[in-house]
Chain A
């Protein structure tokens, strides 16, 4: 009985061992690709081994997005774009500056930027685009009979200079031209018309006038000539009101053009200021070598493929978009670094004076590629419809831009830089 019990125990002891031979885990049935060796190689900065492993796996599964993503990481390491080379920038932005200092710095730069902008661009109140649109609608919808206006008159007396050429012929048929100059007294009245329909933008002018008898007193003669004309003004009030309405709409158009110019001016100022503030970061961006740029292009292509095939909330989608921003930013900033004499820039106004034209031309493809990829990502991000539309317009221009600069375009860049340098 004891032996039986012992045997039973031994049997029970191995029962579960035997059981293990029968059980199959669902998990082990699935063939798993082991990316850990690739990640280990990346962590050790052994990008060559990582690329070897990745290419081996890609040969079996060429459309695998995770492998494409890992390939981008290996290529980034190969191009020396990693946490080590970007550490000075990361340290500057994340690890060094305290929050209170950041807010103080931001307040100061905002004030200085506003002052500079005010100094260079027009002062005074400029209606926003929305206000102009609203006023335009009001003008269009105002009936003629409700338009009111006031007039003021300024009288000018002056002389106009004329030249008269007289041609005569002698008996032999030869011509003889004689030019004589004479002056004609004139007087005219400027009728200055103001109306609420102009919304304070400008005034409208009408003119009446005529020639004065040279022999008589100009002042008295002016009264005789202008008086009746001014009393009769306006000859047709409906026409005048129609002209007032037309002039008001023209003022709106003119003000829109002014506003665009001012906004462009503001943008250039902001851009110059942003570039100037970014110079400490630009200086720390790793140098952009040609071989690295080619690697970055390949990496960006792979990331763009990932971006198009993944949702933003997925890990690959989110990381891919962020890394596009990083690599595109590197292309752009690296190119800017090469295209400016950074050490000579001490103020935002120095920026335009320190451009290296030949480097701008050399880095044109980097600028174009970087901005194309960057705008693809920006347009997808959470921005207002208005901003998105403007971004898409810019993107369309970038997509249509030539892949390489023509000779005349290169010459234009050289000329532009030389012209600016003359004023520095």
Chain B
């Protein structure tokens, strides 16, 4: 029976694999991605969100709600993380506090024309059954300067506030001759208030118009959901697999009718997207190694962008962890220290949120702290 089913779908499976190979070039020239995502922290950032198969950590549920059964701890957590240093910070500081020179202007247009700032904070209350988290601020500010002949600024400002309910459970166990498979599923449901302004204005507008007339924040409200699945096993022969759909029912898709070459379109952030994760864990006497690969798809497993495929690794021993990740546009190395009441982390990142459109990669430093009550 299974053989029949497999045979019938073989051609479709083949086509599916081929479609995975038929990558698409980004149809949105100003597609912007971010490592620090809503519901993320410095761990997920250090791993470039390639963490949906890493179980038993304090950040596992952030990565994949299906990992909820593996996080048994209860308590209250206050978390904050954001960019604390880097080229964007330097450029912002130079522009605001220092005399503006032609060298700075030239550097901004030709090398550092995309500048971004992110900050995330949340309060979480976790029990063995569910987790409630409230994020008052997920702040995002992206500035893209272009066209030296008549300078324009493409500005995307976001504050995403959300209240989230997460839970998960082990669905079934499948002991086999070679391994024991454990299948779990989880989901998050969240209410969000999304304040944003995504606009373009010229340098001339800056000199003639008041900022409140140039930047008019709008708001959207709604309910969304994340769904995750995780297939664990206790054998090194089989990788761990995850499958997620994020931001179901998202009403925050890019609906700009303006020229998309200059309007920013955040991707894998508030829009509906899905991921497949493949990972493995190695527990040794000298610590634990986690390796993971995350393949993101737009919409419901529609198309994949190879540039967004991320590989990550984590080594932890005792209270100390080293995290790293690599992809075409992101390379991170992070350090994390856990203690009874707080965790701190710092991540050094080379990132190009604008992908191929960005003139050069940005060096950035992200820091984060978790306070455990």
Contacts and interface: CB of A to CB of B under 8 A. Distances in A.
Interface stretch (A27-35, A201-209, A222-230, A265-273): A27-35
A2 B174 contact: yes
Contacts of A326: 150, 204
A103 interface: no
A127 B13 CA distance: 92
A39 B258 contact: no
Interface in A170-226: none
A84 B16 contact: no
A42 B299 contact: no
B9 A43 contact: no
Interface string A77-100: 100011110010011011110000
B207 A87 contact: no
Contact of A323 (B150, B302, B303): B150
Nearest to B18: A21
A61 to B, nearest CB: 13
B6 A42 contact: no
Contact of B15 (A2, A21, A39, A43): A21
B174 A39 contact: no
A4 B1 contact: yes
Interface residues of B, number: 59
Interface stretch (B61-69, B115-123, B259-267): B259-267
Contact of B109 (A20, A36, A83, A95): A83
A274 interface: no
A43 B99 contact: no
A39 B113 CA distance: 12
Interface stretch (B47-55, B141-149, B308-316, B364-372): B141-149
Contact of B207 (A5, A25, A94): A94
Contact of B100 (A14, A81, A91): A91
A84 B105 contact: yes
Contacts of B147: 39, 42-43, 73
A382 B105 CA distance: 32
Contact of B149 (A19, A73, A93, A322): A73
B140 interface: no
Interface in A364-421: none
A82 B2 contact: no
B292 to A, nearest CB: 17
A43 B174 contact: no
Contacts of A19: 300-301
A95 B99 contact: yes
Interface string B157-190: 0000000000000001010100001010000000
A96 B302 CA distance: 52
Contact of A21 (B12, B150, B181): B12
A6 B146 contact: no
Interface string A309-340: 00000010011001100100000000000000
B357 A36 contact: yes
Contacts of A44: 110, 359
A126 interface: no
Contacts of B80: none
Contacts of A319: 150, 152, 202
A23 B149 CA distance: 42
Interface residues of A, number: 55
Contacts of B15: 21
Given A5-B174, A7-B6, A76 B150 contact: yes
A32 B24 CA distance: 13
B148 A83 contact: yes
Contact of B302 (A23, A38, A94): A23
A76 B148 CA distance: 9
B146 to A, nearest CB: 5
A391 B359 CA distance: 45
Interface string A47-76: 000000000000000000010000011101
A13 interface: yes
Contacts of A90: 203
Contacts of B109: 43, 83
A113 interface: no
Contact of A87 (B24, B102, B181): B102
A43 B27 contact: no
B5 interface: yes
A91 B95 CA distance: 12
A18 interface: yes
Given A36-B29, A73-B150, A77-B149, A43 B16 contact: no
B9 A23 contact: no
B259 A35 contact: yes
A40 B148 CA distance: 11
Contacts of A155: none
A103 B204 CA distance: 21
A393 to B, nearest CB: 27
A133 B357 CA distance: 65
Contacts of B152: 319
Contacts of A76: 149-150
A89 to B, nearest CB: 12
Contacts of B205: 318
Contact of B16 (A20, A28, A83): A20
A11 B146 contact: no
A96 B149 CA distance: 22
Nearest to A18: B12
B93 to A, nearest CB: 15
Interface in B1-54: 1-2, 5-6, 9, 12-13, 15-16, 19-20, 24, 27, 29-30
Interface in B250-277: 258-262, 274
B323 interface: no
A71 to B, nearest CB: 11
Contacts of B303: 20, 25, 28
B300 A23 contact: yes
Which of B24, B150, B241 is most buried by chain A, counting CB atoms within 10 A of its CB?
B150
Contacts of B299: 23, 25
Contacts of B301: 16-17, 19-20
Instruction: Name which of A34, A38, A81, A323 has the most chain B CB atoms within 10 A of its CB.
Output: A34
Given A5-B174, A17-B16, A83-B105, A32 B149 contact: no
5 contacts: A6-B176, A36-B29, A43-B109, A73-B147, A95-B99
Interface of A: 2-7, 9-11, 13-14, 16-21, 23, 25, 27-28, 32, 34-36, 38-40, 42-45, 66, 72-74, 76-77, 81-84, 87, 90-91, 93-96, 315, 318-319, 322-323, 326
Top 9 A-B pairs, shortest CB-CB distance: A36-B29, A35-B261, A7-B2, A76-B149, A17-B16, A73-B149, A20-B301, A82-B148, A16-B301
